[in-house]
Amino acid sequence: MKNLYLKNSKKLLFHGWHHTNFVSKKAAEFAQSIGADAFLAESAGLVHDLNYIVIPNSEPEVGKKLRENYLMKAGYSRHEIEWIEKIVMEGHIRTRTTKISEEGKALSDGDTLFKALPTTPILFASKYIEQNKVDISKLAHKISSEQNKLIKSGIYFYTALAKKKYLRWGKINLALWDNVNEALKDEDVAEMLSIAKQLKVL
């Protein structure tokens, strides 16, 4: 699995092995903290973003076949593969709800934590923009619109462990992106960014 990510590392500036390895380990830790199946949560973490290898800036269902092939080759049973697919789909940030499995919660918390890390907007936001060929305004709008409603409904993180350790980071991270949206509406900021683009600084 690691080799597949390494082979595609140029396509996966944001969702590469650094992301996958982190998410799968944290998914296992969060699963253990709530008595869920850590092996399945970790496995789902390893394959949850394979869609970005198939089609850039795509939805998780695009990676279904590739996930199936890899998990089959790695010796997972048909039942386990179906479970992992369910966990991956449940944990997707854009569509996740209060009613997901415990393993789905663990994967979701691992994946959300990567976004909430203080290092991510500094080091990886620009990589997301490059990988997915979007601009900062699209990314900031996506983050604010997806994540504010999760904070409001109490499912930004699901597990008590993630909430206790990382919710403060998550809220500060989201406030930063809300500020980005506000700043982009300021004419002087817009002009400054447009000059930076003309100068090929951005």
42 binds Fe ion (CB under 5 A): no
Angle at 92 between CA 167 and CA 180, to 5 degrees: 55
- Out of 29, 37, 42, 49, the only residue in the binding site for Fe ion (CB under 5 A) is 49
* Rounded (10°) CA dihedral 68, 72, 77, 82: 0
In whole angstroms, what is the distance from residue 10 CA to residue 180 CA?
27
Q: Which stretch binds Fe ion (CB under 5 A): 6-14, 45-53, 100-108, 138-146?
A: 45-53
Nearer to Fe ion, 42 or 111 (CB): 111
Amino acid at 133: K
**Of 56 and 197, which has the nearer Cβ to Fe ion?**
56
Judged by beta carbon, residue 127 or residue 184, the one nearer Fe ion is: 127
Among 29, 42, 85, 111, contact with Fe ion (rule: CB under 5 A): 111
Q: Which stretch binds Fe ion (CB under 5 A): 48-56, 93-101, 182-190, 191-199?
A: 48-56
Using CB under 5 A as the binding criterion, the count of chain residues that bind Fe ion stands at 2
Alpha-carbon distances, residue 63 vs 79, 134, 189 (angstroms): 18, 21, 38
Interacting span for Fe ion (CB under 5 A) from 4-12, 44-52, 53-61, 64-72: 44-52
CB atoms within 10 A of CB 72: 13
Q: What is the DSSP letter of 139?
A: H
Q: Which is nearer to Fe ion, 37 or 49 (CB)?
A: 49
122: Cβ contacts below 8 Å, ≥ 6 apart: none
User: Whole-number minimum distance, CB 135 to Fe ion, in Å?
Assistant: 21
For binding to Fe ion (CB under 5 A), which residues are involved?
A: 49, 111
